[in-house]
Amino acid sequence: MSSTQLRIGVTAELIRRSAEALRSAAPGVALITLHPDGSWSDDPADLDGFFLSEDMYYLPESLRSLITLLSERPPRWLQTASTGVDHAFYADLIASGAMLTNAPGVHGGPIAEYVFAHILSRAKSLPGHAENQAAHRWQPIESTELAGQTLGIVGYGAIGAAIAKRAAAFEMRTIGTKRRPPHDPNLHTHLQPDRLYELLADSDYVVLCCPLTDATLNLIDQAALAAMKPQSMLINVSRGRVVDHDALLTALRSGQIGAAVLDVAPYEPLAPDSPLWDAPHCVITPHDSCHVDASYQRTTDFFLENLSRLSKGEPLRWLVEDTELSNPTEGDI
């Protein structure tokens, strides 16, 4: 690494949280701040790196400024706070010759807890009990035991493994799709992706953890939903457009499936007039299943390690060399 001062772009929130750690990782670094209103503290041209930290997911003006920068004067290196890199601007960044690094597995724990919060809510009829309490009504409700139930995981990566680990504690049976068989004692049955319908037909709960690609765009369509059990629950923590939402609305309204939990939408934020908001037995959350303070620190640790490596002229870790896309250019990040 030359003696030229590193110019690294970060958000104002990251400086508030970790200014000392940033300067410790790369002594003498020049921090170029991206503010919530999209303005920069200095000219962001010729940045050596930028950290797309979790706080940016809720800062549309900052995101717009970053996307403009990536299209016009991309930094030499971009670190993401996510595992998934299935947005078009990541592919453009790689094509420009810049380095892209991600944070594999960092959100597995929080997302798995989110998944089980909703599984338990349905199994133990928590909404029904809340309604009875509000009505001052003493009325027992039959619930479901999770032991012996089947949990299907579509796209068995780090998040899927974290979900299966928690399923084992409830004595559930787990099945998952993945191209290469995972060596994981918590997964009872491995299926190739082309056997998806077998997983759907056998599962009481189906969790989507797969990336958005040409192969997974509208993967859960009318035929896939028809293959599911009538009382099963679909949980999507992957990308919105993995699901055909018109088909999902029809399935929920007709009772073809029992329930759905959507932490992602076809385009985000979900429009106020979207019929998804009022779909029966459908829970919607604003893509925040992974957002816990500890997760923010873990993703920052990924960035700090690579920042230190960059300052020393060492190879970066978690380098993404290619990304498979379904070519959407707006919506999910």
Say if residue 197 is in the same domain as residue 239.
yes
Assigned domain for 325 exists: no
The answer to whether residues 212 and 328 touch, using CB atoms and an 8 Å cutoff, is yes
Let me know whether 156 and 280 are in one domain: yes
* Whether residues 66 and 182 fall in one domain: no
What confidence score (pLDDT) does residue 332 get?
A: 39
Residue 129: inside a domain? yes
* List of the chain residues with pLDDT < 50: 1-2, 325-333
- pLDDT at site 88: 76
| Number of domains comprising the chain | 2
Q: What is the CATH number of the domain that holds 174?
A: 3.40.50.720
C-alpha pair distances (Å), 287 with each of 58, 173, 296: 10, 27, 15
If one counts every other C-beta atom within 10 angstroms of the C-beta of residue 215, the result is 12
Q: CA gyration radius for the chain?
A: 22
- Clarify whether 287 is annotated catalytic: yes
- 331 lies in a domain? no
Per-residue model confidence (pLDDT) at position 323: 62
Residue 166 domain-assigned? yes
Is the preceding omega at residue 269 within 30 degrees of 0, hence cis? Answer: yes
Residue 144 structural domain: 108-284
- Do residues 202 and 315 both lie within one domain? no
Task: Print the SS3 string covering the chain.
Answer: CCCCCCEEEEEHHHHHHHHHHHHHHCCCCEEEEECCCCCECCCCCCCCEEEECHHHHHCHHHHHHHHHHHHHCCCCEEEECCCCCCCHHHHHHHHCCCEEECCCCCCHHHHHHHHHHHHHHHHCCHHHHHHHHHCCCCCCCCCCCCCCCEEEEECCCHHHHHHHHHHHHCCCEEEEECCCCCCCCCCCEEECHHHHHHHHHHCCEEEECCCCCCCCCCCECHHHHHHCCCCCEEEECCCHHHECHHHHHHHHHHCCCCEEEECCCCCCCCCCCCHHHHCCCEEECCCCCCCCHHHHHHHHHHHHHHHHHHHHCCCCCCEECCCCCCCCCCCCC
Q: What is the pLDDT of residue 83?
A: 84
Residue 206: strand pairing partners: 152, 234
Residue 107 catalytic? no
Q: Tell me whether residue 306 is in a domain.
A: yes
| pLDDT on residue 173 | 98
Kindly state whether residues 165 and 259 are assigned to the same domain: yes
Whether residue 239 lies in the annotated active site: yes
308 and 278, same structural domain? no
Residues 231, 306 within the same domain: no
Residue 293: count other Cβ atoms within 10 Å of its Cβ. Answer: 9
**Based on the domain organization, do 18 and 119 belong to the same domain?**
no
Residue 23 belongs to a domain: yes
Both 239 and 97 in a single domain?
A: no
Return the bridge partners of 320, or none: 100
Residues 153 and 264 grouped into a single domain: yes
Residues contacting residue 104 through CB under 8 Å, at least 6 positions apart: 83, 158, 318
- The reported pTM is 0.88
Residue 333 included in any domain: no
Q: State the catalytic residue, choosing from 61, 113, 268, 305.
A: 268
Same domain assignment for residues 115 and 196: yes
Same domain, 143 and 122: yes
Considering 239, 241, 245, 298, which one is annotated as catalytic?
Answer: 239
55 belongs to a structural domain: yes
